[in-house]
A and B are shown apart, each in its own frame.
Chain A
Amino acid sequence: MVNTHYPTSYEEALELLNIYKPTIVAGGTDLMVRKRAWSDLPTNFDRDVLFVGQLEELNYIDRQGSNIHIGAGVTLEDIMDHFHTPALLSEAIKIMASPAIRHSATLAGNVVNASPAGDTLPVLYVLDSVIVLESVEGIRHVPINAFITGPGKTIINDNEMIKEIILSGHKFNHKVYRKVGGRKADAISKLSVCLIMDTKKGMIQNFRAAFGAVGPTVVRDLAIESKLIGKSLDWLDENIEEIGKWYEPIIKPIDDQRSSASYRKACTINLLTDFIKHIKHHA
């Protein structure tokens, strides 16, 4: 028998979480689909369900120093329109799913769902996001790349929930988010990229690249990124193809019902090299 819990405070939610180890539902836009059953039958949840979408304490977006803190209960639609929200994240949300889903879904849900095709994840990786987890035992901060370990897999404990997500509010000189889906809305990504670069006086100061749906998790390669830092834009211009080649080993997509591995790989590299090509133009 599966029970549902509807706490009225965050504190109560944490206590219920500790007792029942339930499945946490905020917007439910992934879970309700995954747990669907024959019409008229209850959903197929195998554990108790804890509803947290109603908790006002989790419904906030704050700026603290150069960081943005987004509460686990904020819907994507609210995040998209908020003045603190980094432009890259707003862009990603704008083309995500449909208005109905965005009004219910949360950023925390997209993170904990841990799909390699999760639309906001490449942005969160590039913004060096930190996931703040809380349980009755305390709080811990986990970088997103350590938080997500595989498709649908995270290191969250069964008495923990996401309290908030902290991301960098830094403004980049050059940035792009591109999602390639089967259609222009309501699509699961075939692939997605988030790329940023800071340049000063013709030199690269900062470069980050995250790729979605091309491996078991979103991928970033810090070694390649650091190789680029300190290089000149002239050097960059001459080494576009080369940089594409550096990335090839970590772009390991699969064939599935939505696209082919070869398309995903070629298109990901194309988007990367296209981004770099345009840097000098706009530098």
Chain B
Amino acid sequence: MVLDISKSINKVDNFEKITGTAKYIDDIKPEGCLYAKTLRATISRGRIVSRKYPDMPEGYAIVDYQDISGQNIVKIIFDDMPVFVEETVNYFGEPILLVVGEDKATIMSLMHQISIQYETEEPVYDYVDSKIHKSYIKGQGEAVFDKAYKIIEHTYETGYQEHVYIEPQGVIALYEPDKISLIGSIQCPYYVKNALMSVLDCNEDEVRVEQATTGGAFGGKEEFPSLIACQVVVAAKKMKKPIKLIYGREEDMAYTTKRHPAKIKIEAAISKEHEILGLRTHVGLDGGAYIGLSGVVLLRAMIAATGAYTIDNLCVSGDVYITNTVPTGAFRGFGAPQMIFAVEMMIHHIAKELKEDAYKLRMKYLAKTGDVTSTSGHFIEPIIMENMIQKAMLMSDYEAKIKKYSHDNMNKGIGMSWFLHGCGFTGSGEQVHIKAIVRLKKDESNRVHILVASTDMGQGIKTTFRKLVAHKLNIPMEQVIFENPDTDKVPDSGPTVASRTMMIVGGLLAKAADQLKQQWKDQEEVMVEERYKQPEHIRWDDETLQGDAYPAYSWGINVVEVEVDPVTFEVTLLGVWSVYDVGKAIDEQVILGQADGGLLQGISYGMLEVMKNKDGRIQQKTVTDYIIPTAKDTVFMETELMDNPYALGPYGAKGAGELTLIGGAPAVALAIENAIGKHVTQIPVVPEYIMELMKNG
């Protein structure tokens, strides 16, 4: 037993991960398993006019839309994506069918014998076809623009980001006459289960979903696995055999979801006294070929429209545009990284254009406890940003460096980002859509089983949930059991997304543990249950987008120092410092792991990771061409965690997983801007772009 919950312990899965004994999805080899390979569309937009299938040998089959007993739709949030193309093709690489069988070489040869004829149509790659439009206002909205002394306008652009989880997508379907089971590298077992019930048109007890040990996800295994899970269960039902579908890296990078590229236009109404009267912001997201959960991503981006600042008057709108490209989807941060980049650059650009000191301007608008949020809710919990900013500036020697680098032409720069992240589902999501349920079961030998649908994908909840429950019950951790979730055994505690796992699900577990303590009967089985109830003071209107968008917020500061090579424009990191308020760390090392990984992912989103479409085809589809950082690209990262317990979180914990990514891109972009003395308006800030800025800007 440890006294302070934050004190680090070894992660419980260290041994199996380090020794290589952990069983990932491709390590699972069911008896008589057939393999599946996906045949994909070779046009970006059009219709299939004919299909020629070869004669199939015994034991081999083509599985396509005709084999689907239920709906040919992947049930996600907005149900518009087919499981298999029936006639209409909307992006290059869209799955048309699976070839299944025992021998991979035979499958490959059959794949080559299939012929699909298309009628092509003109594809759309620009932001023209809006399928979702949302807007909200705060205060007087855009009326303040009428009395503005000056209007400052900038457009910011962000690119794709690919998850590059260590383990590619993979699922296995197991067949029994009255039940089909799905095992997968997944984040959200119940999302998958709901999708399977829809595609098979079956009852709840006819499908079961189990998570395999998952080698990374970053949001990439939130909704995408539902697509391939639907495909393999249809195949399993047809073949009455287990079916395994594992993507290779190239297939995974070219045809699975990525972070939404965004164009964000911000106009600031400025008074004669250089006050920011209000902002008019429009965010456009490239949703790819299908909407899926893009509407929710858009909402999170729009709500982050003022970042860590309080601006009294806002007019915020956004659109999800459909293009004939691979669908975009969930990725750590979920719309916030795009918007926080834009907001942080904008406030600096306003300062520059007004010839005001950026730090002073930022401090003037920094959000404080009790302030009205962008959606006219309130920051109820204490905000300790001022203290955090002081700490970060001290750690990084920010003040002296920014002064020096702004005046001397020495190719060095420093940037500091301030940001927040709303914890849990946006708006009334937790209350209306998720309705989380958790259970704790104490068995006769006094072992306590954690029954939740939350998945450990590397972020460490196998450790932190067990630690939390053991701590609450004052029993050894070995006595607390937490298996990979199986929908036949665990209730729906919601998806493992949105920085909600520790705060919401962990919060419910802490309450359940308190309940169990009350009802504890030695050597008797006891089951307790907790259900999510929205705190009374949290109000949200889905129609007007007004109210408290999140029950709580985590906050962060990132400082990045860089050197830009004056000859090649390559950027080298010199220092990285962070301060985070995640309420209370349930395990310090786990949070520091999130901090290092998340921030590096954020910084490389801002300066390295280029992914582009050419004629609807992803150009960077190998880890050779898609540049994520190596150990040599980073430096030691100094991180400080604040203690600022949130009353409704377990031991005061708030969300942490996404927060650490969000400030990386603006911090590094600001550092580069400081080094080169030009306006940076897009990420990633690669040497090619810096060269253009030096030439033209």
Contact = CB atoms under 8 A, between A and B. Distances in A.
On whether the two chains bind one another, the answer is yes
Interface of A: 38-41, 98, 178, 180, 182-188, 257-260, 262-263, 266-267, 270-271, 274
B37 interface: yes
Contact of B619 (A39, A183, A184, A257): A257
B132 interface: no
Interface stretch (B197-205, B532-540, B620-628): B620-628
Interface of B is mostly: loop
5 contacts: A180-B568, A180-B687, A182-B610, A183-B608, A258-B625
Contact of B37 (A38, A260, A266): A38
Contacts of A41: 104-105, 108
A267 B566 CA distance: 10
Contact of A263 (B108, B572, B625, B691): B691
What 9 A-B pairs come out closest when comparing CB atoms?
Answer: A182-B627, A184-B632, A257-B619, A263-B688, A185-B632, A185-B630, A274-B567, A270-B567, A257-B625
Interface in B440-469: none
A267 B686 CA distance: 13
Contacts of A263: 687-688, 691
Contacts of B568: 178, 180, 267, 270-271
A127 B686 CA distance: 32
Nearest to B627: A182
Given A39-B246, A41-B104, A257-B619, A182 B608 contact: yes
A184 B688 contact: no
Given A40-B104, A180-B568, A257-B620, A266 B691 contact: yes
Nearest to A187: B627
Contacts of A267: 567-569, 687, 691
Contacts of B686: 182
A45 to B, nearest CB: 14
Interface string B608-643: 101010000001100011011111110000000000
Contacts of B37: 38
A38 B248 contact: yes
Nearest to B621: A257
B570 interface: yes
A267 B687 CA distance: 10
A182 B628 CA distance: 9
B567 A271 contact: yes
B26 interface: yes
Interface string B104-129: 11001000000000000000000000
A184 B630 contact: yes
Interface string B557-598: 000000000011110100000000000000000000000000
A188 B108 contact: no
A38 B567 CA distance: 42
Nearest to A191: B568
A39 B104 CA distance: 9
B607 to A, nearest CB: 10
Given A183-B627, A184-B632, A184-B633, A38 B688 contact: no
A3 B656 CA distance: 54
A270 B565 CA distance: 11
A274 B74 CA distance: 57
Nearest to A259: B688
Contacts of B26: 39
Contacts of A187: 627
Given A183-B633, A267-B568, A274-B567, A38 B104 contact: yes
Given A41-B104, A184-B632, 17 more contacts: A38-B37, A38-B104, A38-B108, A40-B104, A180-B568, A180-B687, A184-B572, A187-B627, A188-B624, A257-B619, A260-B688, A263-B691, A266-B691, A267-B567, A267-B569, A270-B568, A271-B568
A130 to B, nearest CB: 30
A267 B688 CA distance: 9
A41 B105 CA distance: 7
A254 to B, nearest CB: 13
B610 to A, nearest CB: 8
A270 B566 CA distance: 9
A40 B688 CA distance: 40
Point out which of B105, B567, B625 has the most chain A C-beta atoms below 10 A from its C-beta.
B567
A186 B633 CA distance: 11
B627 A180 contact: no
A183 B108 contact: no
Contacts of B572: 184
A20 B487 CA distance: 57
Contacts of B569: 267
Nearest to B105: A41
A266 B689 CA distance: 13
Contacts of A183: 608, 627-630, 632-633
A266 B691 CA distance: 9
B248 A39 contact: yes
Contacts of B629: 183
Interface string B71-89: 0000000000000000000
A274 B246 CA distance: 49
A83 B473 CA distance: 64
Contacts of B620: 257
Contacts of B570: 180
Contact of B630 (A178, A186, A270): A186
A267 B627 CA distance: 19
A96 to B, nearest CB: 12
Contacts of B633: 183-185
B135 to A, nearest CB: 37
Interface string B666-697: 00000000000000000000111001000000
